[in-house]
Copies of this chain bind each other. A is one copy, B any other.
């Protein structure tokens, strides 16, 4: 007996990727897709690449349309999830791809998002070390999940093993990320036009203003850091999908290369979707496009006294829709890997 699913905000890029993955999922079945301005249109009018779901049409995003499904994925603009989730029954699994329920600190929310903190939900990053265990354990059986931010996932997975092992100084983290425009959604803004981005690169949200900063700090504290300070700069580059995060932090005095490699390799040894490359190798974004994988290369720069971790994810995959489905699988007691792939679409 299949599990019925509704996807709210299904007309965006995150919604589209959720649908693409769900169409391959053997247990979950998409029954309802909702949208705002596209309500009433066939799904194919917005997502012509999703022919296997060609029978669906968008309905209005209301609690009434979403109610009655076993699982509801919310892919709504930030700030719109809390209200609609409050109207859904407690026994419905609600997986929020927005930011509304990620932060555990109301002060952080106010500093970066303003009013309207919705309270925190179980955090959908199964591989995050939390104390001596993994966040995976905290997702079993839950009925509310907050999916991490895409940049957050890349930076957190890149640095958590060193933090957990106590060998990196988390008070001087520097992260610079090459990111594709799909992370900004289907927003009609001039700098997201192809004419502007082709042959171009541009940083944005420079200087400590990006909303993903408090979420990264929260995660690294969960992994064991007493204090976290991060310089975070995303750089928009002309690839449709993907994040390549270069994350660096000082190593604690006396840390050897072996200590570093041991920490990272052991942290993810049992994970299917998080891969640590041999020393000296670096991942490509194309290795993870379309997949749920995060791949990272870890290098020690002895001259600079820093570890450099380069981590690739698909912002729409492991960065959003993949994490949502992986976490939902865990919550529902299904095989964690259903509907997900390890392999990227390359070249």
Please report A residues at the B interface, Cβ cutoff 8 Å.
13, 16, 20, 23-24, 47-53, 172, 174, 176, 178, 180-182, 184, 186, 188-190, 192-204, 206-208, 213, 229-231, 233, 235, 237-242, 244, 246, 248, 250, 275, 280, 282-291, 293, 295, 297, 299-306, 308, 310, 312, 341-347
Contacts and interface: CB of A to CB of B under 8 A. Distances in A.
A235 B246 contact: yes
A213 B246 contact: no
Contacts of A51: 275, 287, 293, 295, 342-343
Contact of A347 (B196, B291, B345): B196
B283 A48 contact: yes
A303 B244 contact: no
Given A172-B172, A186-B190, A286 B196 contact: yes
A138 B101 CA distance: 57
B13 A203 contact: no
Contacts of A23: 343
A39 B36 CA distance: 33
Contacts of A203: 244, 246, 282, 297, 310
Give the number of copies in the complex: 4
Contacts of A198: 180-181, 194, 197-199, 238-240, 347
B286 A229 contact: no
A152 B114 CA distance: 40
B286 A199 contact: yes
Contact of A346 (B47, B284, B287, B346): B47
Contacts of A280: 206-207
A195 B240 contact: yes
A347 B207 CA distance: 26
26 contacts: A47-B346, A48-B287, A48-B295, A49-B343, A51-B295, A52-B341, A174-B248, A174-B306, A178-B235, A182-B347, A184-B195, A186-B193, A192-B193, A192-B195, A199-B239, A200-B242, A200-B285, A200-B286, A200-B347, A201-B239, A204-B282, A206-B280, A206-B299, A230-B304, A231-B308, A241-B347
Nearest to A234: B246
A198 B235 CA distance: 17
Contacts of A240: 194-196, 198-199, 286, 347
6 closest A-B pairs by CB: A207-B299, A176-B176, A49-B344, A208-B301, A194-B197, A49-B346
